[in-house]
Amino acid sequence: MCMYVCIYKLAINMKTLYTGIGHSNSSSNSSNKMALGKSIKMYLTIFIATTCIYMVLYQYHMSRQPLASNDVVKHQDKTSSSYIASYWWAPMSLLSAVNNNSNSNSNNIMNSTINKTTETTLEQIQKDNGRSIIMQTVSLDSRQSTSATAAAATTIATTTTAALAKAAAVVTTTTTKTLATTATATQSQIKLRNGQTYRPTNKAGHNPMGQSTIPSTTTTTTTISSSRTTRTTRPKFLAISDPPPLYIITPTYRRPEQLAELTRLGYTLKHVVNLLWLVIEDANKTNPLVAHTLDRIGVPYEYLVAPMPEEYKATKRAKPRGVSNRNRGLDYLRANASEGVLYFADDDNTYDISIFEQMRYIQKVGMWPVGLVTKTGVSSPIIRNGKLDGYYDGWIGGRKYPVDMAGFAVSVKFLHERPHAKMPFKPGYEEDGFLRSLGPLANAEIELLADQCRDILTWHTQTKKNPPASPVNFTRYGQTNLEFIEKLLVRP
């Protein structure tokens, strides 16, 4: 009230002074201006002092008033005059409101964090082909809240520890029950890594691979060096009937490009379901680098060795490379497989994955074109009026079946009907000799794939030959990453 009185008196004095200035002479004009200035200063000082005192008293009064808990979360209508006036005359209350809202939001976030933290989900991601997913979710609901940070942290730690302990017990119990159920119910379905579900047995009711129908894995330890050991979990192949299994026989031998070509082919085969990769090396013992590469790719495989006979190693003529490897693969299939399709896939070729799905249903023998072969650029059966009418190849050489190794596949059942079928140790005539050993085989029994041999889905690309890598100078590069890379370089 004093403030309004001061403003009223200031207005009257200013009016009187201006009136007096208009009627007074010039000598007293300057003294009147000085009196006016002093009056303005005095009343402004009184106005400011009164405002400050009012603000202090208002804050003291507000601090003495108790706030109800539900009043904190209510918000006034910001368009009302009382709301604007309250923050105009008491600007310090704005800071108080901001602090109260901040504290309220912090408490709400803390309470929400406590409730959400106790919801713990433990899952064991499905690992490799042939293993099922085990997932259990444990959720505990906590409705207790506190505004003290220390108490909230203690509550989070306690509830989280209890949830994890209970979740571990549930997962352990569930895992035991799952394995026991799988061991007794061999006809149950298995969800593989690619998202499809298959039965672990064939139509005859037994496993063609001669393996247990329980989805299990074999832990393999591959030692590359004395200071570095890689532990991986290797998927076990479980042959199924639908779709029919594929057996890919890949000969390999030690050379600088070996790991690179196996990696390229392996990641192509990784897109194909129900497949077993038979990697057979021309060596007397397995190579840890090759095993490490196969483990990392993750395709179900069997790593075998089949050295070339000494009589062919010593010859100065062309050597029958890959023959002992492929014959070893045929022996493996005769002993372990009862159905499906076998295919000789060299590691230096390029494959469209659609050819694997087409060859899967071959009844006896299937053929298709192969690109980048000899001077003709392609090796292919000749189709006239929908029937096989010869072969187109850059080198016939008196062969009955002048085809490339990547241009045909054979049914496993048909192979069992030809127990003496094998590949001859005759360079240039390996394909022809093997197909001849499958006789009798009429042209009408040969299935023509790749759109009746009008499309090219495999290429005999071949990798550029590289010279052996020079050894690393460890005097200069000792105790660096090159010590590990040196062990990964394949030298003949």
Helix spans in 315-458 (H) = 323-336, 354-359, 412-416, 430-437, 449-453
Separation of alpha carbons 381 and 369, rounded Å? 7
Q: Which two tokens stand for residue 390?
A: 């010869």
CB-based burial label for 36 (10 Å; 0-12, 13-18, 19+): middle
DSSP code string of 279-330: EEESSSS--HHHHHHHHHH---EEEEE-PPPHHHHS-SS---TTHHHHHHHH
Separation of alpha carbons 323 and 424, rounded Å? 7
Which residue from 336, 329, 299 is spatially nearest to 202, judged by alpha carbons?
Answer: 336
What is the set of active-site residues? 431
Separation of alpha carbons 77 and 62, rounded Å? 20
Separation of alpha carbons 107 and 275, rounded Å? 57
**Residue 127 identity (one-letter amino acid):** K
CB-based burial label for 130 (10 Å; 0-12, 13-18, 19+): buried
